[in-house]
Structure 1
Amino acid sequence: MMTKAQEHQPRGRLLIFDDDSSVSYTIGAIARGAGFDSRWVDRSADFFQLLEEWSPTHIALDLVMPNLDGIEVVRLLGERHCKAHIIITSGMGDRILAAAQQAGLEQGLRMMGPLPKPFSSTDLRSLLSASWHDDLNSMATPASPLSAPHEVTEEALLRGIEHEEFVMYYQPKVSCDTGALAGFEALVRWQCPGKGIVMPDSFIPLAERTGLIAPLTEQIISQSLDWLSASFANASPLLSINLSAKSLNHLDIADHFADHCAHYDILPSRLILEVTETCAMTDATVALAALTRLRLKGFNLSIDDFGVGYSSLAQLARLPFSELKIDKMFVSSASNSKESRMIVKGIVGLAHGLGLRVTAEGVEDECTLDFLRDVECDLAQGYFIGKPMDTAAVTSWMALTYGTAIN
């Protein structure tokens, strides 16, 4: 529940960068009606000055500008590690908008989907509301600088592992058809003293390079299975765990996971081990042996982020996956991109034709969930359903969503 002070806070700060004053006025009026503060600029110098001084939570960016086009702005925002939600606006065709969206994603930006001109107030409100998942306490203050990724050293990472500073968060997955709980994805976070919560993209690559991924994976498996066993001993939700490509270099990984399952009295069929498309294809021969042994032990295997790698369909058919996970890039833009909808529909058909279950990640609104149900996608995951939560928050979410308690 929000405090009285929070009730008077804006839902966010929208910075509009467009050389058409009538369009900017319209966007600003709609945003203010949705509870956002808004400011408009038409010069790049003013835009970047407000970016630093005002720290907008949202940016509406026109692709076609007289002196600095939107793609160049996207590049500069990426260099600044901008954390604002970005909405691309333009009267250009859908393919150009989709390409601009992809350019932003590859810069690590939080792209909220394109807003084709002309647009309706409903379209803009939908994009603005889709990003507002957390309460207003999580918003940056106007004076705060744009955040940059945490710098992590090998010594700090080793110390964190030795002191067991890593904790697990869990994001729910539900049936697209019925809304019933299907399971959770286990996501690691680092509670680093003096830095707060550090996200995995800041430490997983270093762990893989230094060989520390093995002891870190041990903690991830132990914590996750302990939680699953204690919380859902009399139920059957599945649990997804991300698997490092380095783990596929060891044929005994299947025995290792099987031993953990036996220790916590969990059937291997309740675990889904996720590997990225690119990781699975790095050394397909070695991966084939390791993945096949995992399947023989009864584990489910999911190919993660499908659609953004470089593998061939022949290789996909060759490896023994039981699930395909559609990358959120396509899912989050499905509500306003015909191309994304066609890609998602095609992937679902391909996966079902190969006998694979399909999970869509990045579900941000009801419209997207309805679309996934229409194309017969199996499972859905995203902030519209539930954000990654610690164990206490999962208990509250279960009670609120399903009216049931966990052990």
Structure 2
Amino acid sequence: MSSQSVRQLPMSSNSADQHLMLVVDDDPVFSSQISFFARPQFNVMQYTNPDQIDPIALYRAELIVLDLQMPGHDGIEFLKSLSLVCPHKPVLIISGSDIQVVRMAERVAELLGMTHVRAAQKPVSLSQFRNIVSVMPASPQKDPANIAVSGGKLWSLGDDGKSAVGDRQSRYKPQLDIKTFDVLGLEALPPWTSLIDDIQKAEQAGKDLVSPEIGLDFSLSAIEAVLVDCDAITRDTARHYRFSVSVSSETLASGNFVKTLVEMVGRLKIPANRLVICFAAPLADATSSREVMASMARLKLHGFQLSLRNVSSLLVEEAKSVAEVLDEVVIDSVLLRSLTTSLISRGSVENILRVAGGAGIRVVADGVDDERTLSWLRQLGEPIVQGRLFAHPMNSIELRAWLQQQFRH
């Protein structure tokens, strides 16, 4: 970052600027209304989008009132940036979006590490606004003083001038050859994995939990973080592993997903065939969607691998229906938990291994947590295995140390 593009914040603030509130909303009428509600407790500064925010004002503000949807700007993206540099900054999300989206945005902020976030749906009354503000902290906890603004994004600068992202890292589960225990791949668990899981479950229930834009944004952010780790792990270990990351069917259907992903791997110089895009079964609605199938075809055309998760015996036929584009299926962990005690589960796993093997699709057994389960899998067909028997989910630093230890053995 050049000195011309970065504005450094001062180490101290002026007491005259205490009780400063920022309103970030493109609706001037709403901003004026909130400003009226906030006085005389707060001095108010209004911005129509996050890029306009003065970094000194951002640092000194005791409360930020934030809209989610502004022309050309995304409130969620701002929250992601803010969480890296000011995770304790009180934020009140007030949006005209659907109430489920507003509540999900609040949860997203919490998953990102924001400690003082509340959310409400427009319109809000004077009493509602003041009741919410009254239970929020009067002043923020101490945030980093070395905050900078560059290219419309927020950065927390370390002593070496590099951006610091705290401890909100992706975690990884190794995937091993069942015979040799060689590491073949790594499944990524981004910090907001539970959010992606909730989106997938909601889709399966026929509900729109979040807007497509929010789901797409988080999936792409997760993938970019994984690709950065992928590059670092490759350089440290001189090994080329597959990296798996989950997306929702709705994200997969987005017209921008494949285009952005192709640009991303090109920019980071990561071969597309090292990235496995995972999506969850059931496929009842997804397979009938032309957008999803078109995205699958485009992903394969560009060299990406595709994986169908949560496969059970009842879904083998569905897996066969998209076998021409699938590289992998992941056995439902529920089946593995009962593998040692249930003949039905053993029959289901054996059937999956037989059908997938016949179609040239590799099989991953996720949730191998004990020796008995491993022993049964060896008898039934020898899939790729992952689970706590081999390693707990690890961040990239822990993973690199673990991999180095495996090499020594």
TM-score class, shorter-chain normalisation, is: 0.5 to 0.7
Q: Which residue of structure 2 aligns with residue 237 of structure 1?
A: 241
Q: Could you tell me which of 338, 341, 352 is aligned with 2:343?
A: 338
Secondary structure of 2:210's aligned partner: helix
Q: Which residue of structure 1 aligns with residue 403 of structure 2?
A: 398
Q: Which residue of structure 1 aligns with residue 387 of structure 2?
A: 382
Secondary structure of 2:282's aligned partner: helix
Q: Which residue of structure 1 aligns with residue 35 of structure 2?
A: none
Output one character per residue of 1:244-299: Cα deviation in whole Å (capped at 9) or x when no partner: 11112224433322221112221111111101122574344322111011111111
Gaps of 5+ in 2: 1-101, 113-152, 155-164, 203-207
Q: Which residue of structure 2 aligns with residue 45 of structure 1?
A: none
Does the 8 A contact of 1:276 with 1:305 survive in 2?
yes
Does the 8 A contact of 1:251 with 1:289 survive in 2?
no
Q: Which residue of structure 1 aligns with residue 115 of structure 2?
A: none
1:371 aligns with 2:372: no
Residue 210 of structure 1 aligns with an amino acid whose one-letter code is S
Residue 248 of structure 2 aligns with an amino acid whose one-letter code is S
Q: Which residue of structure 2 aligns with residue 178 of structure 1?
A: 180
The alpha-carbon distance between structure 1 residues 160 and 307, as it changes in their structure 2 partners (threshold 3 A), is closer
Q: Which residue of structure 1 aligns with residue 211 of structure 2?
A: 210
Output one character per residue of 1:167-196: Cα deviation in whole Å (capped at 9) or x when no partner: 311111101121100111111225xxxxxx
CA distance in 2, matches of 1:307, 1:155: 34
Q: Which residue of structure 2 aligns with residue 249 of structure 1?
A: 253
Residue 326 of structure 2 aligns with an amino acid whose one-letter code is F
CA distance in 1, matches of 2:381, 2:313: 21
**1:322: how far off?**
1.0
**1:351: how far off?**
0.2
Counting only pairs closer than 5 Å after superposition, residues 8-407 of structure 1 correspond to structure 2 as 153-157=104-108, 166-190=168-192, 201=197, 209-211=210-212, 212-233=214-235, 234-279=238-283, 281-282=285-286, 283-307=288-312, 312-313=317-318, 316-317=321-322, 320-403=325-408
CA distance in 1, matches of 2:381, 2:258: 32
Q: Which residue of structure 2 aligns with residue 19 of structure 1?
A: none
CA distance in 1, matches of 2:315, 2:171: 30
The alpha-carbon distance between structure 1 residues 311 and 182, as it changes in their structure 2 partners (threshold 3 A), is closer
**1:321: how far off?**
0.7
CA distance in 2, matches of 1:280, 1:222: 29
Secondary structure of 2:225's aligned partner: helix
**1:329: how far off?**
0.9
CA distance in 2, matches of 1:329, 1:261: 34
Does the 8 A contact of 1:303 with 1:324 survive in 2?
yes
Output one character per residue of 1:118-155: Cα deviation in whole Å (capped at 9) or x when no partner: xxxxxxxxxxxxxxxxxxxxxxxxxxxxxxxxx96424
CA distance in 2, matches of 1:159, 1:360: 31
CA distance in 2, matches of 1:289, 1:189: 29
**1:365: how far off?**
1.0
Q: Which residue of structure 2 aligns with residue 97 of structure 1?
A: none
TM-score (norm 1): 0.54
Output one character per residue of 1:350-399: Cα deviation in whole Å (capped at 9) or x when no partner: 00111101111110112222322333333111111112111222123223
Secondary structure of 2:381's aligned partner: coil
The alpha-carbon distance between structure 1 residues 389 and 320, as it changes in their structure 2 partners (threshold 3 A), is same
Does the 8 A contact of 2:329 with 2:363 survive in 1?
yes
Does the 8 A contact of 2:265 with 2:272 survive in 1?
yes
Does the 8 A contact of 1:281 with 1:311 survive in 2?
no
Residue 351 of structure 1 aligns with an amino acid whose one-letter code is A
* Alignment RMSD: 3.1
CA distance in 2, matches of 1:314, 1:274: 13
Does the 8 A contact of 1:182 with 1:238 survive in 2?
yes
**1:334: how far off?**
1.2
Residue 172 of structure 1 aligns with an amino acid whose one-letter code is P
CA distance in 1, matches of 2:316, 2:196: 24
Does the 8 A contact of 1:359 with 1:378 survive in 2?
yes
The alpha-carbon distance between structure 1 residues 230 and 359, as it changes in their structure 2 partners (threshold 3 A), is same
The alpha-carbon distance between structure 1 residues 250 and 398, as it changes in their structure 2 partners (threshold 3 A), is same
Does the 8 A contact of 1:277 with 1:311 survive in 2?
no
Does the 8 A contact of 2:199 with 2:248 survive in 1?
no
**1:318: how far off?**
5.8
Moved over 3 A (4+): 158-166, 197-208, 308-315, 399-402
TM-score (norm 2): 0.54
Q: Which moved more, 1:274-283 or 1:169-178?
A: 274-283
The alpha-carbon distance between structure 1 residues 201 and 285, as it changes in their structure 2 partners (threshold 3 A), is closer
Residue 245 of structure 2 aligns with an amino acid whose one-letter code is I
